[in-house]
Chains A and B, each alone.
Chain A
Amino acid sequence: GNSVTQMEGPVTLSEEAFLTINCTYTATGYPSLFWYVQYPGEGLQLLLKATKADDKGSNKGFEATYRKETTSFHLEKGSVQVSDSAVYFCALKNTGANNLFFGTGTRLTVIP
């Protein structure tokens, strides 16, 4: 089946610290992989995506590389800001499928 496992939160970091949020997946085909972010009081927004192995998605200083050999799509940012405080969701979508499979979300809090 299809599933996404991401690290349990919450994660608390100081401003300018390095961020890694781990995500691994199980899929029946060759999925596209996503990171969505949910800021307080808002819906989920697409942060970045990668559609095939070795692709790197990037946006707003965040990066994630599609690693087929380790079935992973870890999210990284070199220097976090207070405004990055949010819940981050890893997700996958198989080709031809109608829906996304989401992880449980990881809450990130960045303190000044």
Chain B
Amino acid sequence: ETGVTQTPRHLVMGMTNKKSLKCEQHLGHNAMYWYKQSAKKPLELMFVYNFKEQTENNSVPSRFSPECPNSSHLFLHLHTLQPEDSALYLCASSQVRSSGEITDTQYFGPGTRLTVL
């Protein structure tokens, strides 16, 4: 396994379902991210984790719940989503310097294509 992997690649769910997206990075990084990619919109940063601690939450609705059990794994738990939540969800990771600053380059997974019916 190399790089950043995401499962599942495709997910269709009803508005009352509960599902989880999984991300795993094999790069030895300590920062991980969730982004939402919708058509004709900039990538939206959702959450940032730095050494398993959440450092950013960009006003994301509570129906999205992230979990970072260790520096290599990141989950996004989904509950009572809306059709407008349909999008490509991208996970990324990056290295953290000894100073605590996250380095510039982010490495992305292939994404999970989510459809909410």
Q: Which residues of A contact B (CB under 8 A)?
A: 4, 32, 34, 36, 41-46, 49, 51, 89, 93, 96, 98-105
Contact = CB atoms under 8 A, between A and B. Distances in A.
Nearest to B9: A41
Interface string B43-67: 1010010100001100000000000
A88 B48 CA distance: 23
A32 B70 CA distance: 29
Interface of B: 4, 6, 31, 33, 40-43, 45, 48, 50, 55-56, 90, 92, 101-102, 104-111
Given A43-B109, A98-B31, A98-B56, A89 B43 contact: yes
Contacts, number: 50
B111 A98 contact: no
A42 B37 CA distance: 13
Contacts of A98: 31, 48, 50, 55-56, 102
Most A Cβ at <10 Å: residue of B48, B56, B102: B102
A93 B104 contact: yes
17 contacts: A34-B104, A43-B90, A43-B108, A44-B106, A46-B106, A46-B107, A49-B105, A93-B104, A98-B31, A98-B55, A99-B56, A100-B43, A100-B45, A100-B106, A102-B42, A103-B42, A104-B42
Contacts of B45: 99-100
Contacts of A51: 104
Given A44-B106, A98-B48, A100-B45, 15 more contacts: A4-B42, A34-B104, A34-B105, A36-B108, A42-B110, A44-B108, A51-B104, A98-B31, A98-B56, A98-B102, A99-B45, A99-B48, A102-B43, A103-B42, A104-B42
Can you list the 3 inter-chain pairs with the closest CB atoms, starting with the nearest?
Answer: A43-B108, A102-B43, A44-B108
